[in-house]
Amino acid sequence: MREDAAGKSTAKQTDAERYDALIIGAGFTGLYQLYSLRDRLGLNAQVLEAADGVGGTWYWNRYPGARCDSESHSYCYYFSKELVTEWEWSERYPGQEEIRHYLNHVADRFDLRKDIRLGDRVISARFDDAETLWHVTTEAGRQYEAQFLITGVGCLSSANVPDIPGLDDFKGDWYHTGSWPHEGVDFTGKRVGQIGTGSTGIQSAPVIAEAAKHLTVFQRTANYSIPARNGPLSEDFKRYTKEHSDEIHETMLAGPNGHPFRIEDRPVASVTPDEQREIYEAAWEKGGLRFRSVFKDLLTSKPANDTAAAFIKTKIRAVVKDPETAALLSTIDHPFATKRPPVDSHYFETFNRDNVSLVDIKTNPITRITPTGIETTAGHHDLDIIVFATGFDAISGPLLAMDIRGKNGVTLKEQWAEGPKTYLGLQVAGFPNLFTVTGPGSPSVLTNMPVAIEQHVDWITDCIDTLLKNGKSRIETTPEAAEEWVGETTAAANATLLPQANSSWYLGANVPGKPRVFMPYAGGMAHYRKRCNDVAADGYKGFVLS
Ligand code: NAP
C-alpha cells in the first residue's frame, strides 16, 4: 500500500473498511481496474460486486442464444500479451458462457479474487468534502471508505421491465433477459410470448422457437439485422490472431468503433448501383457488424444509408415466406444502424416456422397482461411464459440506481435532472475523485466495449498516479468543462444520422420519463482517445487538481 495515498486520513474511527480505491462491479472494467490500481500503482483497492460471481453483463445475461456481436479475438483484454496468447476462443463470436469462463480465468490468472467482494451491492456513496473521502454503503449494511471511487457498473445492467398493467396477476412465469435464471428455463411444450426485438430478442427468438410449443413475438419497432455467420474458429485463424495480435490491436485502436476491421474509405456514391449491390452482397455473406464498414458514409448521409437499408429490407422479404409477416418485419422506421444494429443467427428464418407468429404491437398496442396471457387492442394471446427482451435503462441508469451524493450532499439524480452531464464521460462536476468508466459522454456502447474500457481504465490509472506523485489528493472537473463537453457530445451525434432513431436507448427514449439526451460520444474512439490524452498532457485541462 502506498502510504501517501490515503494513509494520512484524519477520519474518525468508524466500522468502515478503509481503502485507497473502491471499484464498483466485477465485469470487464472492475477486473482490469483492480489489476491496474493494485498491481501497477500498489494501491489498496477493493472491488464490490452485487452478483455472486465475476462477469458483469455476462454473469446476468444468460438468456437463450446470448452471445456477443463483437468477434471473439477482439472481445477481450489486450493489456497482457500473455493473456492474449494463452486464451483460446472457440467460435467466431463468443457465447455468454465462454465469456464468463474467460473473465473467471482473468480473475484467477491475475489473482484478483482476494480483492473482490461478491454479493455486496452498493446502494449509496457519499463524498465527504472535509476528508476527501467517499463513504460507501452496501445493501448488506457494510460500510467502506476510500479516497477514490470508480464505477464499473456497465452501460446495460439496469433491466427495463415495462410497466404493463396486470403483470402481477399473470399465472405463468415471466423473465427479463438481463436477469435470467441460472438453471435455465424449460420451454418444452410451452406457449411463450416474447416482447422486444432488439439485439437480445433477435438472439433469443430462434433458440426459444426450437424448444417451445409456440412462440409469439410482440414487435413494436421492426429492426434491421445482419446474419452473424457464427461458427467454430479454424486452427489457422486461431494461430493467425495470436501471431498478429499487435496488428489486430492496432487496427482496433485506429478505428472509430474499436473493431478489428477498417472502414472502407469510399462513399456509396463512388460506385455504381450494381457495384453497391455486389459489395453489400459480399458483406451480407461475410456477416456481422462488418457490414457497416463497407462504405464510409452510411452513418452520415441519408441517401447513402438508404441504399443499405433498401438492401437489407429486400433480404428480409426474400427470407420470410408469409408476405404479411415479411412486410411487418421489413417496415423499419429508422435509418440503418441508428439503433444498435443486431446480428443474428436465423432470426428472420424463424418466422417461417409453423410454431412462430409475429404480433404487431405498434398498430395494436398491448393493453394489459391477464392471468393467462397478453391482451392487445386486436385480441388476446394465451401464454404460459412471458420473456421480456425489453432492454435496459441504459448508460446513466446503473449509476442513478445508486444514491450517489457529491459535494454539499447534491445527488447525482439532481445533477442529471436534465440528462447526464460529464466531462469526457469520466467525471461529474461536484463529485471529486469519482470516475465513471464508460459513463455517459464517452464512446462506450458505440464501441467494442473492451477497447473503451481499457482506454478509460488506463487513463484513470495514469491520472491517479500523477495526482499522488504530485502530492495532490483530489481531482474534480468543472461545471464549465462538463457543459462544454455536453455540447461537443451533442454536436458529434448531430453530425451523424444517429439521433434520427426516435425510440433508441442511446437517447434514453425507451424509458418513460427519462430525459432525451444522446448519451454516448459519437465522435469516434480514436479521436476520443486523443482528446483524453491531450487533456492529460495539458495538465488535466478542464479538471482542478488540489
Ligand atoms: P433494446 O435494444 O433496447 O430492445 C428492446 C426491445 O424491446 C425493442 O424492440 C423495444 O421496442 C422493445 N420494448 C421496450 N419496451 C417495450 C414496451 N413497453 N412495449 C413493447 N416493446 C418494448 O434492448 P436489447 O435487445 O436488450 O439490447 C440492448 C443492447 O444490449 C443492444 O443494443 C446491445 O448494445 C446490447 N446487446 C448486445 C448483444 C451482443 O453483443 N450480442 C446482445 C444483446 C444486447 P422499441 O424499439 O419500439 O423501443
67 lines ligand 1 (CB under 6 A): yes
Any atom of ligand 1 within 6 Å of the Cβ of 199: yes
Q: Is 196 in the pocket of ligand 1 (CB under 6 A)?
A: yes
DSSP state of 160: -
Does residue 208 carry a pLDDT above 50?
yes
For ligand 1, whether the C-beta of 340 sits within 6 Å is yes
Both 324 and 366 in one domain: the answer is yes
**Which pLDDT score is estimated for 542?**
98
Ligand 1 mean position to 408 CA, how many Å?
Answer: 37
Enter the C-alpha cell of residue 258.
474499436
Distance separating alpha carbons of residues 241 and 226, to the nearest angstrom: 24
Nearest one of 222, 248, 505 to 363, comparing CA atoms: 222
Q: Flag whether pLDDT at 225 surpasses 60.
A: yes
Q: Extract the C-alpha cell encoding 432.
A: 471529486
* CA of residue 106 to ligand 1 center, whole Å: 29
Q: Residue count of the chain, please give it.
A: 546
CB atoms within 10 A of CB 108: 11
- Measured by CA distance, the residue closest to atom 39 of ligand 1 is 68
Percent of the chain with pLDDT over 90: 97
pLDDT reading at 13 higher than 60: no
Tell me, yes or no, whether 359 lies in a domain: yes
Residues 269 and 353 in one domain: yes
Tell me which of 388, 418, 434 is where a domain ends: 388
When pLDDT is cut at 50, 70 and 90, the band that residue 10 belongs to is: very low
Residue 1: the pLDDT is 39
How confident is the model over 516-533, as pLDDT tens digits? 999 999 999 999 999 999
By mean pLDDT, which of 1-15, 119-133, 415-429 is the weakest?
1-15
Residue 63 maps to a domain:
no
Residue position matching grid coordinates 453489400: 280
Is position 379 within any domain? Answer: yes
Task: Compute the distance between CA of residue 198 and CA of residue 12 in angstroms, rounded to an integer.
Answer: 50
Residue 169 has pLDDT above 60, yes or no: yes
Q: Which residue has the cell 490509472?
A: 461
Q: Is residue 80 part of a domain?
A: no
Burial of 544 (0-12, 13-18, 19+ CB in 10 A): middle
- Counting other chains too, the contacts that 454-459 makes at CB distance below 8 Å and 24 or more residues apart are 454/32, 454/77, 454/78, 454/79, 455/525, 455/528, 455/529, 455/532, 456/29, 456/425, 456/426, 457/29, 457/32, 457/33, 457/36, 458/36, 458/79, 459/426, 459/532, 459/533, 459/536
Same domain flag for 322 and 456: no
Sheet holding 379-382, edge to edge: 366-370, 373-376, 379-382
* Atom 31 of ligand 1: nearest residue by CA position: 199
What residues have CB less than 8 Å from 527, skipping those under 6 apart?
A: 256
Cβ-based neighbour number of residue 130 at 10 Å: 7
User: Which atom in ligand 1 lies closest to the alpha carbon of residue 93?
Assistant: 41
Long-range contacts of 43-46 (CB under 8 A, 24+ apart): 43/1, 43/2, 43/5, 43/464, 44/1, 44/5, 44/6, 44/19, 44/20, 45/19, 45/20, 45/21, 45/115, 46/17, 46/19, 46/21, 46/22, 46/115, 46/116, 46/117, 46/144, 46/146
Among 355, 388, 421, where does a domain finish? 388
Residue 238's φ and ψ, nearest 5 degrees, are -60, -45
331 and 355 assigned to the same domain = yes
Same-domain check for residues 316 and 377:
yes
> What average pLDDT does the structure give for the chain?
96
Question: How far apart, in whole angstroms, are the C-alpha atoms of residue 305 and residue 313?
Answer: 12
Considering the domain boundaries, does residue 97 fall inside one?
no
Question: Is residue 60 domain-resident?
Answer: no
3-state secondary structure at position 419? coil
What does the alpha-carbon distance between residue 180 and residue 236 come to, in Å, rounded to a whole number? 35
Domain assignment present for residue 44? The answer is yes
Number of domains in the chain: 2
* pLDDT at residue 7, rounded to an integer: 36
Q: Please compute the mean of the pLDDT values over residues 365-371 and round it to a whole number.
A: 98
Q: Is the CB of 200 under 6 A from ligand 1?
A: yes
Residues spanned by the domain of 184? 167-388
- pLDDT of residue 221 exceeding 90, the answer is yes
Q: Please determine, for residue 223, whether its predicted confidence score (pLDDT) is greater than 70.
A: yes
Q: Which of 388, 423, 448 is the last residue of a domain?
A: 388
Q: Looking at the CA of residue 221, tell me the nearest atom of ligand 1.
A: 47
Name the residue of 200, 207, 360 to mutate for ligand 1: max ligand atoms within 8 A of Cβ.
200
Tell me, what CATH number does 47's domain have? 3.50.50.60
Do 183 and 145 share a structural domain? no
Kindly tell me if the per-residue pLDDT of 6 is higher than 80. Answer: no
Secondary structure class of 146 (helix, strand, coil): strand
Q: For residue 14, what pLDDT is reported?
A: 66
CA angle 504, 509, 514 (to 5 degrees): 145
Nearest CA to ligand 1 atom 46: 221
Position in ligand 1 atom list of the atom nearest CA 197: 9
Cα 453 to middle of ligand 1, angstroms: 22
Say whether pLDDT at 357 is over 80: yes
| Predicted local confidence at residue 503, as pLDDT | 85
461 vs 4 pLDDT, higher one:
461
Residue nearest to atom 12 of ligand 1 (CA): 196
Q: Does the beta carbon of 343 lie inside 6 Å of ligand 1?
A: no
* Residue among 99, 163, 340 whose CB has most ligand 1 atoms within 8 A, to mutate: 340
Task: Using pLDDT thresholds of 50, 70 and 90, give the confidence band for residue 9.
Answer: very low
Judge whether 473 lies within some domain: yes
Question: Of all protein residues, whose CA lies closest to atom 2 belonging to ligand 1?
Answer: 198
Query: What span, in angstroms and rounded, lies between the C-alpha atoms of 93 and 90?
Result: 8
Q: Say whether both 124 and 172 belong to one domain.
A: no
Which ligand 1 atom is at minimum distance from the Cα of 162? Answer: 18
Position of cell 494461430? 239
pLDDT digit string (tens) for 171-197?
Answer: 999 999 999 999 999 999 999 999 999
Which atom of ligand 1 is found nearest the CA of 503?
48
Alpha carbons 471 and 464: distance in angstroms, whole number: 11
**% of the chain at pLDDT higher than 70:** 97
Least confident of 117-121, 413-417, 501-505: 501-505
Ligand 1 pocket check for 166: Cβ under 6 Å: no
The alpha carbon of 208 and the centre of ligand 1 are apart by a number of angstroms equal to 17
Residues 466 and 372 in one domain: no
Q: How much distance in Å is there from the Cα of 199 to the middle of ligand 1?
A: 6
Residue 176 and residue 137 share a domain: no
* Confidence at residue 2, expressed as pLDDT on a 0 to 100 scale: 41
What whole-number distance in Å separates Cα of residue 88 and Cα of residue 104?
Answer: 14
Residue located via cell numbers 455472486? 52
Q: Which of 220, 506, 519 to mutate to test the pocket of ligand 1 (most atoms within 8 A of CB)?
A: 220
- Distance between CA atoms of residues 427 and 464, nearest Å: 13
Can you tell me which atom of ligand 1 is nearest the CA of 178? Answer: 26
338 lines ligand 1 (CB under 6 A): no
Mark 296-327 as b/e (b = at least 16 C-beta within 10 Å). bbbbebeebbebbbebbbebbeebbeeeebbe
- pLDDT tens per residue across span 291-336: 999 999 999 999 999 999 999 999 999 999 999 999 999 999 999 9
CA of 544 to the centre of ligand 1 (A): 39
pLDDT band at 502 (very low <50, low <70, confident <90, very high): confident
Strands 379-382 and 373-376: antiparallel
CA of 195 relative to ligand 1 center, distance in Å: 9
Clarify whether residues 475 and 330 are in a common domain: no
CA distance 268 to 310: 13
**Same domain, residue pair 266 and 218:** yes
C-alpha closest to that of 158 among 293, 50, 28, 15: 50
CA distance 512 to 145: 35
Q: Please tell me whether residues 406 and 497 are part of one structural domain.
A: yes
